[in-house]
Amino acid sequence: MRRLTLCIALVLSLAFASDAAAKKVVAAKVCGPSACAETHDRSTLAAFAEGGPPTDPPAHASTWYLVRVTVEVEDGRRDSFAMAVLPRAGLARGGDGEGGYSWFHLTAASVRRYMALAHQIAPYPAGKLRGTGPPKVRVDEVVLPPREPAASGGGASALPWFGGALALLAGGLALLLWRRRRGMPRARPSEG
């Protein structure tokens, strides 16, 4: 997985690199289903380091070539990675189905170089390329927000109870005052 991440980062960094960084691409091989063409020519290899900004996958697949790019990394070591190139759509894709694909635009010069290198090679059919169209969504885990802690005593407000008790007390007091003004005797507790 670390190597894949390094390769994707390298492809994307080369996509925005200057001519000096393009010298690190040392070989490229463009393949179709029945033939391949390889180049070590620096001017042609510059096309493999040019690119535009990242983009979404194409809505529909297009014919494509499998391209293996070899780069010289630190201390003279070489590393290679594969990518799908859709020159007619002006797109390239790095990555894999497991770790995800990264799509980016090709420059017009890159498209011309890819087509010149692959001019005698039949491309792979559009239907053989995976990872086109809208991304497939897969839910790995559902995380719910934390629950609010329950208030002690059922969580209901005591205000209605206090209001009701106050109203009952006021009603009782009003009745008592009304009886006294009218001169009514107070009810006496029955003796039993």
Whether 112 is in a domain gets the answer yes
90 touches 106 (CB < 8 A): yes
The alpha carbons of the chain give a radius of gyration, in whole angstroms, of 38
> Domain range spanning residue 30?
2-128
- Where the chain has pLDDT below 50, the residues are 1-23
Whether 20 is in a domain gets the answer yes
pLDDT of residue 19: 37
pLDDT tens for 45-57 read: 877 776 778 888 8
pLDDT of residue 159: 74
CATH number at residue 12: 2.60.40
Whether 118 is in a domain gets the answer yes
d(CA 68, CA 46): 14
Whether 70 is in a domain gets the answer yes
Count of structural domains within the chain: 1
45 touches 22 (CB < 8 A): yes
Percentage of residues in the chain having pLDDT higher than 90? 3
